Amino acid sequence: MLEILLVEDNPQLCAAMQTGLDATRRVHVVHACASGEAALRWFLEAIAGENVVRPEAVLMDVQLAGQMNGVRAAVALRRELPRFPVVFYSIQDDEQYYRDFQRSGILSHYAYVRKSNYLLPHMVVPLLADAVAGRSFIDPEIEARVQEVRQKDAEDPMALLEPNEQAVARLLAAGLTNEQIAERMGFQDKRTISRTNGQIYAAWGLKASTTDETVARTRAALIVGAGRLIVWNNEGLPMVQAMNGDWVAWLP
């Protein structure tokens, strides 16, 4: 019998999952809660106490009540008990969750699946058992989204700019003039914005592709709006890098 902690913020689903898991007679839910903060508090008491059943794994929703999502909660749990087995299941397709997951450094003793693909309790039991055994599994749909987000972040043009330049780029994309940007940001000399624009153009390769300030400004605004680096070829056609590394025509 596998003793687990269940963390799920939907009361109806939490109750159904707990009943269903217990009914398999292979898993027993020793505690259920709705937030990462509550899970961490109970977990710390469980691993430190003598009269509380210590869980062997956790089934964790990714979207939770409170400030801490499931991935961050799992990282906090594993800080206290390294490689503590965790199975994430989620219906949400929020890029921040995928970013948190890839930054978490979780390598083993885990599974990450979509609720829609593993909705029934008897489907979750093997995932829990494998996580306890040190194996890992990620739903192919989630793995594809993690890779997409990783690629998107790698291409993030803002990563090439310093914080002050990022702020100027966003205001430039919003259509503000240098004078308006200088006023908004509290600069006395609008030439500061011109110099900052030059740094933005250089970082994004726009200085080399055009000598026209209006064109460079327009292209910078397009890059901000697209959220990815765009280059213009000799014919003036915008190109972006595909996941395989090839440069292809950009279709806004």
Smallest Cα–Cα separation from 197: which of 214, 240, 237?
214
Residue 233 confidence class, pLDDT cut points 50, 70, 90 = confident
Residue 141 in this model has a pLDDT that exceeds 80: yes
Query: How many CA atoms within 13 Å lie on the side-chain side of 62?
Result: 22
- Across 200-215, average pLDDT: 83
Band the pLDDT of 174: cuts 50, 70, 90.
very high
Strand order in the sheet with 231-232: 231-232, 238-241, 247-249
Q: How far is CA 113 from CA 57, 74, 119, 154, 198, in A?
A: 16, 15, 10, 24, 45
Give me the helices (H) in 24-83, please.
Answer: 36-48, 70-80
Q: Is the pLDDT of residue 210 over 70?
A: no
- What confidence score (pLDDT) does residue 155 get? 77
Give the pLDDT confidence score for residue 209 in this predicted structure: 66
- Dihedral (CA of 53, 56, 60, 64) sign: positive
Kindly state the average pLDDT of the residues 211-224. Answer: 90
Q: Are 60 and 110 in contact (CB under 8 A)?
A: no
pLDDT at res. 132: 97
What is the spatial distance between Cα 182 and Cα 55, in angstroms, rounded to a whole number? 57
Q: What is the pLDDT of residue 208?
A: 67
- All structural domains of the chain, each given as residue ranges with its CATH number in brackets, are 2-154 (3.40.50.2300), 157-249 (1.10.10.10)
Residue (of 66, 105, 103, 108) closest to 87 by Cα position: 108
Q: Is the pLDDT of residue 109 over 80?
A: yes
Distance CA 14, CA 186 (A): 51
Average pLDDT over residues 155-161: 87
Helical (H) or strand (E) element with 138: strand 136-138
Among 21-25, 101-105, 229-233, top mean pLDDT goes to 21-25
Residue 241's pLDDT band (cuts 50, 70, 90): confident
pLDDT at 154: 75
Give the rounded distance of the alpha carbon of 37 from its chain centre: 19
Q: How are beta strands 57-61 and 86-90 bridged, if at all?
A: parallel
Task: Enter the pTM of the model.
Answer: 0.70
- pLDDT-based confidence at 51, cuts 50/70/90? low
- Residue 211: pLDDT band with limits 50, 70, 90: low
- pLDDT bin (cut points 50, 70, 90) of residue 65 is very high
Partnered with residue 31 across adjacent β-strands are 5
